[in-house]
């Protein structure tokens, strides 16, 4: 992950005109020994994103670059004996890009579940739609995003 972000940083600093870069970090699809495995993977993620952030900050590029960290799946609340299964809700983190730097949404209600799954408060497409509209001047409905954008994200 760190190497991929280092390359993306070089491309950004080299003024390549790509609008979106994507990389991923695997290793989270665990169903046992989750505490140790996730701790290790979250440390890798933290260190890589922090280095990327510091690199962009040193070059005065944070205002131009928006970093979005998300998972392709959430986790269920109840442990299945050795870990947790895939769930329907998870957190997203938006860094840089002149965002307002605030927490959006509410803490999940661990008692009010939908068949064992957290009930999400903000649809992830609202975040994507907000980025498309505010960063690219693109109308999200043109690609089928009908969810309301998040006001004052940026």
Which regions of the chain are under pLDDT 50? none
Q: What is the pLDDT of residue 85?
A: 84
* Number of Cβ within a 10 Å radius of residue 149: 17
Whole-angstrom Cα distance, residue 38 to residue 64?
Answer: 31
pLDDT in tens, 22-53: 999 998 888 788 889 989 999 999 999 999 99
Q: Produce one character per residue of 68-91: b if its CB has 16 or more CB atoms within 10 Å, e if not.
A: beeeeebbbbeeeeebbeebbbbe
Which residue reads 């109840």 in tokens?
78
Q: What is the pLDDT of residue 15?
A: 92
pTM: 0.88
86-87/93-96 β-pairing: unpaired
How do the domains of the chain map onto residue ranges?
Answer: 2-12+20-101
């Amino acid at each position: 992950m760190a190497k991929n972000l280092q390359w993306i940083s070089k491309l950004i600093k080299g003024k390549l005109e790509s609008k979106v870069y994507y990389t991923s970090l695997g290793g989270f699809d665990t169903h046992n020994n989750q505490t140790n495995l996730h701790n290790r993977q979250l440390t890798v993620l933290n260190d890589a994103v922090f280095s990327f952030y510091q690199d962009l900050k040193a070059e005065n590029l944070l205002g131009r670059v928006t970093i979005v960290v998300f998972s392709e799946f959430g986790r269920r609340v109840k442990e299945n004996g050795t870990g947790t299964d895939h769930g329907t809700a998870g957190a997203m983190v938006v860094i840089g890009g002149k965002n307002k730097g605030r927490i959006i949404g509410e803490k999940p209600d661990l008692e009010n579940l939908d068949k064992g799954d957290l009930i999400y408060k903000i649809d992830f497409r609202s975040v994507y739609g907000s980025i498309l509209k505010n960063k690219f001047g693109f109308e999200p409905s043109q690609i089928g995003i009908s969810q309301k954008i998040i006001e004052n994200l940026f």
